[in-house]
Chain A
Amino acid sequence: MRRSKSYRISFVVLFIALVLSLLLNISLGSVSIPFPTVLRAIFKGSIENESWLYIITDYRIPKAITAILVGSGLAVSGLLMQTLFRNPLAGPFVLGISSGASLGAALLLMGASLFSGLVIYGLASSIALALAASLGSFLVLLVVILVANYVRDTMALLIIGLMFGSITSALVGVLAYFSDAEQLQRFIFWSFGSVGNLSWPQISILLGITVIGFLIALFLVKYLNAYLLGENYAKSLGVPLKRSRLWIIIAAGLLAGGVTAFAGPIAFVGLAVPHLTRQIFDTTEHRVLLPAVMLYGAILMLLCDTLAQLPSATIVLPINAITSIVGAPVVIWLLVRKRKLIF
């Protein structure tokens, strides 16, 4: 009934593309390792060169898994927000969740100048940074959920979320103004985004958060489809509006917050991947869109990360810049080719 056969073929192609981009991502890097050796390291777990094995298992594979989680998490979060707000410009960060994470990170990295003595420099390790960013995004998410309970109008909630974002960004600005160059630089590096600094325990936390987010999103699929008609129609179809809206926010918040906490505020993926997917699949059915955006998000992130480390043997470009430089022209090309926005 719903072109299920052609969807199946598309999913098989996407899955193969994911595996290929994963292999490509692990194979390429500043140290050149022959492809058969990489394959042996992945599938057998042992190769002659110890340092190569270390690079592959302790650096490249964790980085690739992080890229997959970050890409798919942001893409699903963006899809949820675009459907909830029925706004093509909505992304995972419209509710101020990323700004909350930024504020948390900024307080840790630059707060020392404001509250001298309170913040110990040693704390600014990557785990403390993830914790501070998580706390920031979680607090903003909590406030948004509380507000969502009171505000009936979803569009008003969107504006309130944007206002939260403005307030937290402004606070970050104030912190930045009073910070010294070194602190500011550390914060700016965090805000560039990175998928490369996560340890296995951190990855398992991120995995846990994203899996919970995906599962909630999966249980919301039926309601998300009803939201396509608007809130009143959704209600007349038996959708519990208040409860479903809350769960959509929780899922989107967990995904965006978790990703931002561990990988920094990565732009573009959450906004653009749902559009990219709708244009290519030509559908608004969430049972198709949800797995599709996960795959596209993961592939895009893996490819961008591969590009980010390619240009030079030693320098790795900020992932945030690459996602936009690579992704935006693709979306523009799709829109120009189809001459309309499928939303």
Chain B
Amino acid sequence: MKDQFLSVEKLAVGYGKTTIVKNIQFGLNEGELCGVVGINGIGKSTLLRTLARLQPKLQGEISIRQNKLTALSSQELAKNISVVLTDPIATRNLTVLELIALGRQPYTNWMGRLNANDVTKINECLQLFQIEALKGKKCYELSDGQLQRVLIARAMAQDTPIIMLDEPTTHLDLYHKVHIVKLLKDLAHDFGKTILFTSHEIELAIQLCDKILILDGAENPFGTTAELIDKGSFTRLFPHEVVQFDPNSGTFKISK
């Protein structure tokens, strides 16, 4: 795994002296979409925040292009990893354009002034995400689905090889959930982005992700959907008497 673009070795995450989940080990290549799934409270968000260096790791190693994550300066980090978090943005009075423009901060001068290249990147993002019509709107005027697209566009404007998203499909209906994950897949495959997102939507991840990391608090299996089905990892995810996994259809059913 060490020679992969993003590699994680024997990682333990948590807060202070409390370990939430340990023994996490996986590697991702450029252009891969990876879903992190697991039951509530298992530590998906804590893992994502640790991977983005928003909080310190407890043990193990995270590397980008074989460089340790801890060795990167905050500026270098901002040019390598962008995030979409569940935190509500503090000021919803920003216009869509202003919000996306903030994604260019790692590249701007000390005053935050945008140059021609920044403006081009921002316009490309507006086109790519088909949100040009929204650019003058304030964030509080947007629907949940629109805001999520805008936040992903902001991450895209940050122009990082890695994008990490915490629960990007929460609060969305099925159509918008599929839409967002497909969008992420396109960004990974067409633009070579390495994308990692946490989700409760295991079936969606099974159908659309290149790789899946299952946090189960023990082995934390990682691999392609087929590999994980073969290993029986999905079958062991929930108590059998409550939810059963059907390996043929890749779906879960409620036990009778």
Contact = CB atoms under 8 A, between A and B. Distances in A.
Interface of A: 1-2, 86, 219, 221-222, 225-230, 232-233, 235-240, 278, 284-285, 287, 342-343
28 contacts: A2-B98, A86-B91, A221-B111, A221-B112, A222-B110, A222-B111, A226-B102, A226-B105, A228-B90, A228-B94, A228-B102, A229-B90, A230-B87, A230-B88, A232-B87, A236-B54, A236-B77, A236-B81, A237-B78, A238-B77, A238-B78, A239-B74, A239-B105, A278-B93, A284-B93, A284-B98, A287-B112, A343-B91
Contacts of B82: 236
A238 B91 contact: no
A221 B108 CA distance: 12
Interface string B83-104: 1010111110110011101110
A284 B113 CA distance: 15
B95 to A, nearest CB: 9
A225 B113 CA distance: 11
A98 B93 CA distance: 30
B192 interface: no
B158 interface: yes
A284 B85 contact: no
B75 A227 contact: no
B250 interface: no
Contact of A343 (B93, B110, B119): B93
B102 A229 contact: yes
A238 B101 CA distance: 15
Interface residues of B, number: 35
Per CB-CB distance, the 3 closest pairs between chain A and chain B, nearest first, are A238-B78, A222-B112, A228-B91
Nearest to A218: B111
B106 interface: yes
Nearest to B160: A236
Contacts of B52: 236
Contact of A229 (B49, B54, B91): B91
Nearest to B164: A236
Given A86-B91, A229-B90, A230-B89, A236 B111 contact: no
Given A86-B90, A240-B74, A232 B105 contact: no
A238 B112 contact: no
A8 to B, nearest CB: 15
Contacts of A221: 111-112
B110 A232 contact: no
Given A222-B110, A222-B111, A287-B111, A237 B102 contact: yes
Interface in B89-137: 89-91, 93-94, 97-99, 101-103, 105-106, 108, 110-114, 119
A219 B79 CA distance: 21
Interface of B: 49, 52, 54, 74-75, 77-79, 81-83, 85, 87-91, 93-94, 97-99, 101-103, 105-106, 108, 110-114, 119, 158
B102 A238 contact: no
Contacts of B94: 228, 284
Contacts of B114: 1
A233 B85 contact: yes
A282 B174 CA distance: 36
Nearest to A278: B93
B131 to A, nearest CB: 16
Given A229-B102, A238-B78, 18 more contacts: A225-B102, A225-B105, A226-B102, A228-B102, A229-B90, A229-B91, A230-B89, A233-B83, A233-B87, A236-B77, A236-B78, A238-B74, A238-B105, A238-B106, A239-B74, A284-B94, A285-B98, A343-B91
B158 A232 contact: no
A259 to B, nearest CB: 26
A233 B92 CA distance: 14
Contact of B158 (A222, A225, A237, A240): A237
A229 B93 CA distance: 10
A228 B98 CA distance: 11
Given A222-B108, A228-B94, A236 B102 contact: no
Nearest to B99: A229
Contacts of B81: 236
B6 to A, nearest CB: 16
Contacts of A1: 97, 101, 114, 119
B64 to A, nearest CB: 14
Contact of A227 (B74, B90, B108): B90
A113 to B, nearest CB: 47
A230 B90 CA distance: 5
Nearest to B54: A232
A221 B111 CA distance: 6
A284 B49 CA distance: 27
